[in-house]
Amino acid sequence: MQHPPFLSSVTQLSEALFAGAFKHTYKLAKGQSYVIYAPARKQVTTLFFFLTGNPGLLPIYKPFLETLSASSPNLAVIGHAPLGHGIEVPTPPKSALTLDAQIDANVELLDSLLAWVDKDTKIVLCGHSVGAWMMCEVAKRRPERVDALFFITPALCNIANTPNGRWQYYLFSPVGQAILPICARILRPIAAYLAPRVIPPTVQERTDPAHYEVVKEQAAAFMSNPRILTSALILAWDEMYQVAELDREWLRLNREKIFCFFAKKDNWVGDSRAEVEEALGLHESDGQKRAGVIAGEPGIPHAFALEHNVHIAEMCIGWLRESVWRPAGQAPMGPEEIESEVTPRGFADEATL
């Protein structure tokens, strides 16, 4: 199999998934980031580019990426972790951990992907949490090449004023950036013991053993690895200031391309959800939600990748059918509910931006 030429250190994770490192040299972006991808089984006609939230522990999203890739032989799926997030690649320079550098990194990867596929390939950008905000910024830089945008529990504005932003604000500050990595070193000997205790118990009950082991491993690494924690804190601190005012006009102009899922209760979104819904035209004068934008409110929390990867992937597959896969002239199907049991929210969900 011929792998994307811009990836190095390629390894096979499963029958469908491969992993590799992408070297960044564009503007502020420097160093390597971690990529998991599923190549198309036939000619690529749709490219799905996914960006995690913060912390960007990409391995916990593997079932999400696998489920998406199985939906079409012509779909290539790319999952991307922010620079400095994860144990899989070396730590980039500190200057590459900022929010602006992360945007540059995703623009650079998108440009490499665009050069890799045919010019007629449909491009879908998907972001989780603050990854949705970053994908908005990426789309603004390459507007002519983006055919659809999928936002999952999006943190698009006023992060500092959300319930979680207010109580975690000082953890992300320079003081927190100095103290918490020291705590990570102290926790290293007992991280494997603590990890299962900060993960909702339903993760073990509702997911397969392999995924549960990955979640435990990633949780332990995040708690005990100073460099990953530092990367997440630097990015979060920038988010407090830069992810502020909602770009209503851009959302309004691009609303036909945007599909958005909100958790029923989300302390990383808070009251800003109403602003986003209004900009996307979800509350029109006739009281009807615009078809195809939001897929109901099942009991899925902000940190969906802990145990709801398949549910969210199936929702995104429905969005693909409503957007880039919908035949010309076919009417949209309208809003669609997906079912899920309510998950108790805990530390892991509240800490995931």
The per-residue pLDDT for range 213-243, each reduced to its tens digit, is: 999 999 999 999 999 999 999 999 999 999 9
Catalogue the long-range contacts made by 91-96 (C-beta closer than 8 Å, 24 or more residues apart).
91/31, 91/227, 91/231, 92/24, 92/30, 92/31, 92/32, 92/33, 93/30, 93/31, 94/230, 94/234, 95/28, 95/30, 96/24, 96/28, 96/29, 96/30, 96/31
344: its two tokens = 């108790």
Between 3.40.50.1000, 3.40.50.1820, 2.30.40.10, 3.40.50.300, what CATH number should domain 7-156+245-322 receive?
Answer: 3.40.50.1820
Which pLDDT score is estimated for 331?
66
CA distance to 65, 163, 316, per residue, from 215 (Å): 15, 25, 22
Which pLDDT score is estimated for 286?
46
The predicted model scores a pTM of 0.93
The per-residue pLDDT for range 282-298, each reduced to its tens digit, is: 765 444 555 455 655 66
Strand-pairing partners, residue 50, are: 79, 126
**For residue 125, which of 146, 106, 153 has the smallest C-alpha distance?**
146
Contact present, 129 and 350 (Cβ < 8 Å): no
Question: Is the pLDDT score of 337 beyond 80?
Answer: no
| C-alpha dihedral (350, 270, 310, 193), degrees to nearest 10 | 0
Mean per-residue pLDDT for 68-83? 97
Contact present, 55 and 34 (Cβ < 8 Å): no
DSSP label of 326: S
Mean per-residue pLDDT for 252-276? 91
The whole-chain average pLDDT of the chain stands at 90
State the chain's maximal CA–CA distance in angstroms: 61
54: its two tokens = 């913060």
Q: How many Å apart are CA 163 and CA 261, to the nearest integer?
A: 19
Query: Which distant-in-sequence residues (6+ apart) come within 8 Å of 248 by Cβ?
Result: 275, 278, 279
Contact present, 102 and 27 (Cβ < 8 Å): no
| pLDDT cut 70: percent of the chain above it | 89
